[in-house]
Structure 1
Amino acid sequence: MKDYFRKYLEGRCSEDEFLSFINLFLKADKQKELTKNMEEDWKSVRANKKTPDLSPTLHKIHFEINKQEKSENKTRKIVTYLTRIAAVLFIPLAVAFFFTVQKNTSSDVKNQTISTPLASKTNFELPDGSMVYLNAGSSLSFPEKFTGKKRLVKLSGEAYFDVKKSKQPFEVETSELTVNVLGTAFNVMAYQNTLPEVTLERGKVVVNTKSNLQKTLQPGEQAVIDITANTISVNNVETELFTSWINNRLIFKNEMLGNVVQKLERWYNISIEIDNEPLEQKRINATIEYESISEVMELLEITLPIKFEYKKNERKLLIKSSRP
């Protein structure tokens, strides 16, 4: 095994050795060498009957990713490499995350908040055993222990909940609505400047708005809340289109480009501007998994009459019509 490969895995390689390691992933003629090195490392791990803990390395990679807004140009290039490596090396762990814990000293029950920056996501277990998948640019606050008459969590952004059944009702609160359940699986999307959505995969939930509107959802239904019009519309949907992100996929089916761009901005932590308003209405069918943003844009160029350019100084993608 190449020495720099081992040094990287142990977190002690120099800058030159790090760049050599990067080349294994970026150059096609290095793929055989990469495969050989990984196989050797895997055999070594199995021989020692030890499973490597990749969490510290993963945390380090995504910590560097989250600093890129303040980095110089050279650092940004390396961070781009790191983003691609995170997708390749850590597929089993590729729910990138960064979290903070906040203590509430004014109450007997301590609260904590888990947050994910843009281009990151995570999953974790709540004190009652319920599972939460937190999407990019989101945060969830909850007590260290659920007491009282209900299990209350507060969400900003988007999260998927798989709630453990209990006689103690579970409630998700956002700035515009609350969702009440006993035991179920559902997705709540409540980013700023978007219409809140609640998508039910199984079980039953009750959606309540701050203006006292209420709707009960059955599996396969989605509630869209229009705060300005003070309405809740309920439609049957393919729930996978709204929950696939927890499996590191974005699925678009007859989706308008304007909506797609909003999700891509959060997914890749990059600003995207469409300079032609009619283009926002163009419809897209696509599935995105571990593609880079440039690969996604190249796909869109094939399927739509568009072209894109990257404004490096502004860190912005500009989408234009490819027709005169």
Structure 2
Amino acid sequence: MNHREISYAENEQLKQTKKDSVRYNSVTIPAGERFAVVLSDGTKVYLNSNSYIRYPVNFSGDTRDVTLVGRAYFDVAKSKIPFIVNTSDMKVEVLGTSFDVESRKNGKSTSVILVEGSVKVLADGQSRIISPDEKLSIDRFKRNISVTSVDAKTLTLWKDGVLVLRDNTFDEMIEALCSWYGVEIIDFSSVPETEKFNGRFDRENIATAVETIALSAKVGYRIEDGKLIIEDLKK
């Protein structure tokens, strides 16, 4: 599935001098959509649904800084100048690598998944370096930082049109699918927080996704006023 894409080519006429004020662009992606941006240094950023990124038109100075709210996959162009992703909870610093960052406004946690290379994560006065196929997560309420082993390429397939969820609570799964499909889902069920769910969802097939949810969580569903209502099965 192809992304819509914006590219920025850096040339001598467009480069900013140190005397120039830095000019920024920003991109906001609505629910149910994805987008790709190629930055002036050649870094490619895949933006997930409900995401926002702010970045300089041209990088200058000692760092390449961008700001992210939401989720994005970064394929960073190699350079001696550090590339830094700023979120509300952390800074992710690299020189050239591929990784996924998720930091949503109302999410219970924020995370980094490393596909290749290495990254340094700065959060709460701590510095952590993670390796490929590792996921660093920060619990926003307990402020715990944990690192777990994952299949990074599988968990970042969303950039290719396939959302893979692993060990999600029911609430987390519903939140992810609301954003992924761009639909409003209202959950009236009483699925326990202790239950964990896995799933693989194609972009185009929401009907199959709904059936999968209903069967795995043992819940019922109905569509009302264009909204998907999930509720406990009637006994």
Any idea what SS the aligned residue of 1:142 has? Answer: strand
Asked whether 1:317 is paired with 2:228, we answer yes
Structure 1 residues 160-207: Cα deviation after superposition (integer angstroms, max 9, x where no partner) = 001111010000001111101011110000001210011111111111
Please give the residue correspondences for 1:217-232 in structure 2 after superposition, counting only pairs within 5 Å.
Answer: 217-232=130-145
- Asked if 1 retains the 8 angstrom alpha-carbon contact of 2:180 and 2:203, the reply is no
Structure 1 residues 81-107: Cα deviation after superposition (integer angstroms, max 9, x where no partner) = xxxxxxxxxx4x3x3589xxxxxxxx6
1:206 alignment partner, one of 92, 96, 120: 120
Q: Call closer, same or farther: CA 1:228–1:288 in 2, change over 3 Å.
A: closer
- Asked if 2 retains the 8 angstrom alpha-carbon contact of 1:279 and 1:321, the reply is no
Please give the residue correspondences for 1:259-274 in structure 2 after superposition, counting only pairs within 5 Å.
Answer: 259-274=172-187
Computing the radius of gyration from Cα coordinates, the structure with the larger value is 1
Once the two structures are overlaid, the 10-residue window that deviates more, 278-287 or 135-144, is 278-287
- Asked if 1 retains the 8 angstrom alpha-carbon contact of 2:191 and 2:217, the reply is no
> 2:84 aligns to what?
171
> 2:11 aligns to what?
none
Equivalent residue letter for 1:183: G
> 2:67 aligns to what?
154
> 1:18 aligns to what?
none
1:135 alignment partner, one of 18, 29, 48: 48
In the alignment, the residues of structure 1 paired with residue 198 and residue 95 of structure 2 have an alpha-carbon distance, to the nearest angstrom, of 35
1:252 alignment partner, one of 165, 183, 186: 165
Structure number with the higher helix fraction is 1
Question: Structure 1 residue 119: deviation in Å?
Answer: 0.6
In the alignment, the residues of structure 2 paired with residue 190 and residue 219 of structure 1 have an alpha-carbon distance, to the nearest angstrom, of 20
- Asked if 1 retains the 8 angstrom alpha-carbon contact of 2:69 and 2:103, the reply is yes
Question: Structure 1 residue 301: deviation in Å?
Answer: 2.6
In the alignment, the residues of structure 1 paired with residue 192 and residue 218 of structure 2 have an alpha-carbon distance, to the nearest angstrom, of 9
Unaligned regions of 5+ residues in structure 1, if any? Answer: 1-90, 99-106
Asked whether 1:302 is paired with 2:201, we answer no
- Asked if 2 retains the 8 angstrom alpha-carbon contact of 1:97 and 1:121, the reply is no
In the alignment, the residues of structure 1 paired with residue 165 and residue 24 of structure 2 have an alpha-carbon distance, to the nearest angstrom, of 36
Question: Structure 1 residue 241: deviation in Å?
Answer: 4.0
Q: Call closer, same or farther: CA 1:282–1:241 in 2, change over 3 Å.
A: farther
Unaligned regions of 5+ residues in structure 2, if any? Answer: 7-19
- Asked if 2 retains the 8 angstrom alpha-carbon contact of 1:97 and 1:120, the reply is no
Once the two structures are overlaid, the 10-residue window that deviates more, 148-157 or 270-279, is 270-279
Equivalent residue letter for 1:206: K
RMSD: 2.0
Structure number with the higher strand fraction is 2
Any idea what SS the aligned residue of 1:188 has? Answer: strand
Of structures 1 and 2, the one with the larger relative CO (CA 8 A, separation 6+) is: 2
Question: Structure 1 residue 279: deviation in Å?
Answer: 4.9
Equivalent residue letter for 2:129: T
Question: Structure 1 residue 114: deviation in Å?
Answer: 1.4
In the alignment, the residues of structure 2 paired with residue 227 and residue 297 of structure 1 have an alpha-carbon distance, to the nearest angstrom, of 29
In the alignment, the residues of structure 1 paired with residue 97 and residue 79 of structure 2 have an alpha-carbon distance, to the nearest angstrom, of 11
- Asked if 2 retains the 8 angstrom alpha-carbon contact of 1:188 and 1:199, the reply is yes
Structure 1 residues 13-47: Cα deviation after superposition (integer angstroms, max 9, x where no partner) = xxxxxxxxxxxxxxxxxxxxxxxxxxxxxxxxxxx
- With the length of structure 1 as denominator, give the TM-score of the two structures: 0.64
Question: Structure 1 residue 115: deviation in Å?
Answer: 1.5
Where has structure 1 moved over 4 Å in runs of 4 or more? none
% identical equivalent positions: 30
